[in-house]
Amino acid sequence: MSGPIDLPDLNVWLALTTPDHVHHKRAVRYWEQDAAEQILFCTVTALGLLRLVMQPKVMGAAVRTVTGASELLQSLLAQPGVEMAQPKDDGWALFHQLMQNKNLPSRLCTDAHLAALAISNNWRLVSFDQDFRRFRQLNWLLLTVQ
């Protein structure tokens, strides 16, 4: 892959694929106007999306079956420029450095992993989550909602 590469956070994928999500319109605007040519799922975001779209408490009447969730992921991966990440660097060394921060709440463990993966591979992380602000080396696009 050459050129800019985005690694969307789970919250972007969920908003993008859920028309009644509060951030759906902003996620679509990102997809249509701001996205890099290459957009990646990593294992964490792919599995997270599957898990959430199968949860009735999250999806309500739009909840998907296991088969439907798998088909959703496959349809996203069939979009031009969308792929499963194949990182040159798995980011684990940097992840463990980030985890040494005594001010890092345990709830941000996954965020630290995504940040380390993005930093280590020179990818831009895209999220609605302002907690990524704490990772100073991160090339990060905060999707703000007006």
CATH number at residue 66: 3.40.50.1010
CA distance 120 to 89: 6
Residue ranges making up the domain that contains 80? 5-142
Cα–Cα distance, 70 to 65 (Å, whole number): 8
Query: What φ, ψ does residue 141 adopt, rounded to 5°?
Result: -110, 110
Read off the pLDDT band of 146 (50, 70, 90).
low
pLDDT at 145: 80
Question: What are the tokens at 26?
Answer: 């902003």
In this predicted structure, what is the pLDDT of residue 102? 77
Report the alpha-carbon distance of residue 5 to residue 76 in Å, rounded. 16
State how many domains the chain has. Answer: 1
Here the tokens at position 127 are 């999220």
pLDDT digits (tens, 9 = 90+) for 15-70: 999 999 999 999 999 999 999 999 999 999 999 999 999 999 999 999 999 999 99
- Which of 37, 41, 33, 35 has the alpha carbon at shortest distance from 7? 41
Encode pLDDT of 70-92 as tens digits: 999 999 999 999 999 999 989 98
Beta bridge partners of 125: 7, 140
Dihedrals phi, psi of 76, to nearest 5 degrees:
-65, -40
Rounded distance between C-alpha atoms, residue 58 and residue 39, angstroms: 24
